[in-house]
Amino acid sequence: FQLGSTETKVTGLRAVLTAKRPVLEQRAKDSAKLLLEVRHETEETERVEVTVAKEAAVVEAKAQEVHRVRMEAQQQLSAAMPRLDAAIDALDSLSKSDISEIASFAAPPPGVRTVMEAVCLLLGEPTSWESARRLLGQPGFIKTLRNYPRDDIPPVTLRKLSRYTSDEGMSHDAVRRANAATMSLASWVHAIENYSKVASDVRPLQERVSELSTQLDAANSALEAKRRDLDTIRGEVARLVEKCEADAAAKVELEREITVAAERLTRAQQIIDGVSSEGERWASEVASMRERQDAVLGDSLLACGMLAYLAPFDGAWRARLLREWAGVVDANRVPRSSSFSVDAVFSSPSQVRQWELQGLPVDEVSVQNAIFTTASQVRQW
């Protein structure tokens, strides 16, 4: 028996009665109006169905256009990624000695200077050799290039960058002749510029996708609202038709349901009144039993150990050994009661009370001695 479940059922039965009694009273008044309502709702259903079909076609067309433009933008960006990925991967080929070699130039060759000034420009540093050497000396220099925010480069920076990348000194052959280690950095600069150009070309498409997606979301919301309206109207029509076909039978059935619900409510309330006072005690006992069940293995192990070995010891030694044993039990993840006591395993509060009435001191050691004595006798028998 579940007290909470019964209370929930009582609440539900009350709600049923509250809802159905007014319906029963109103049914007798509304019978004459049902046919007109059915006719009106049927016409409304047909009108909304036409509207929904038209709007669904519009939404489908918008969805296809969004997909087409999004795929076009993605394809253009994807075309630029292999070159950029290759340039980024090439950065990993630069060793510390390569970077040190580049930074060691007191007066770098033109190709090296051009490449490093372009790198400084992209990283927002002064375009000077001194600034370039500081960048090269930073421990996370290559990581900074790998994680460069390529989608957020200001247009003014890109315009300045084109003056470097169009310079003959940044051509593949020129950089290779100047310093081979600088070629990976030059490839990275060119790849960043190429990606930015593609991204700039794609940006109108992305903006178009965003605009179309907003329109599509609005159209979908409007369409879903119309569909919900249509479902509501269809449900109303079905309900009205059913009422027209079986109004008399439904009235009788409703009366029967109200009677049954009232009887069930009365019986359930009687049950609740009879057992509600026991609910808290049952819950407490169940929780206590579950805790003891979970800890039975560890508690039994400790209790048996005390019974077998600790009887000769005084209270202090018993407590010390018990703490050590409990630590071993916990270390091996054996469940036990957090407040373990041997009297909880081998005796009961009523037994301890009986011993007290017979003159036994009720301190912990005395109770343990009594348990050891009685439990040992049982084991011998």
Q: Which domain holds residue 358?
A: 295-380
> In this structure, is residue 47 part of a structural domain?
no
Which of 190, 221, 243 is a domain's end point? 190
Q: Does the predicted model carry a pTM greater than 0.85?
A: no
Query: In this predicted model, which residue has the larger pLDDT, 33 or 102?
Result: 102
pLDDT-based confidence at 324, cuts 50/70/90? confident
> In this structure, is residue 93 part of a structural domain?
yes
pLDDT-based confidence at 367, cuts 50/70/90? confident
Task: Please report the pLDDT score of residue 120 as a whole number.
Answer: 94
Q: Across the chain, what does the average pLDDT equal?
A: 80
User: How large a percentage of the chain has pLDDT more than 90?
Assistant: 9
Average pLDDT value for residue range 311-338: 86
Which of 190, 220, 252 is a domain's end point? 190
d(CA 85, CA 195): 10
Task: Please report the pLDDT score of residue 381 as a whole number.
Answer: 41
**Has residue 380 got a pLDDT over 50?**
no
Residue pLDDT, tens place only, 45-84: 878 888 888 888 888 887 887 788 778 767 776 766 776 6
pLDDT-based confidence at 160, cuts 50/70/90? very high
The domain that holds 106 is classified in CATH as: 1.20.920.60
Residue pLDDT, tens place only, 238-249: 887 887 777 777
d(CA 376, CA 196): 88
Query: In this predicted model, which residue has the larger pLDDT, 375 or 130?
Result: 130
Query: In this predicted model, which residue has the larger pLDDT, 210 or 283?
Result: 210
**Has residue 287 got a pLDDT over 60?**
yes
> In this structure, is residue 180 part of a structural domain?
yes
**Has residue 284 got a pLDDT over 70?**
no
> In this structure, is residue 49 part of a structural domain?
no
Which of 139, 174, 190 is a domain's end point? 190
**Has residue 378 got a pLDDT over 60?**
no
**Has residue 276 got a pLDDT over 60?**
no
> In this structure, is residue 58 part of a structural domain?
no
Task: Please report the pLDDT score of residue 285 as a whole number.
Answer: 60
- What's the per-residue H, E or C state across the chain? CCHHHHHHHHHHHHHHHHHHHHHHHHHHHHHHHHHHHHHHHHHHHHHHHHHHHHHHHHHHHHHHHHHHHHHHHHHHHHHHHHHHHHHHHHHCCCCHHHHHHHHCCCCCCHHHHHHHHHHHHHCCCCCCHHHHHHHHCCCCHHHHHHCCCHHHCCHHHHHHHHHHHCCHHHCHHHHHHHCHHHHHHHHHHHHHHHHHHHHHHHHHHHHHHHHHHHHHHHHHHHHHHHHHHHHHHHHHHHHHHHHHHCHHHHHHHHHHHHHHHHHHHHHHHHHHHHHHHHHHHHHHHHHHHHHHHHCHHHHHHHHHHHHHHCCCCCHHHHHHHHHHHHHHHHHCCCCCCCCCCHHHHHCCHHHHHHHHHCCCCCCHHHHHHHHHHHHHHHHHC
Specify the residue for token string 């980024």. 88
Number of domains forming the structure of the chain = 2
d(CA 210, CA 203): 10
> In this structure, is residue 326 part of a structural domain?
yes
> In this structure, is residue 120 part of a structural domain?
yes
> In this structure, is residue 141 part of a structural domain?
yes
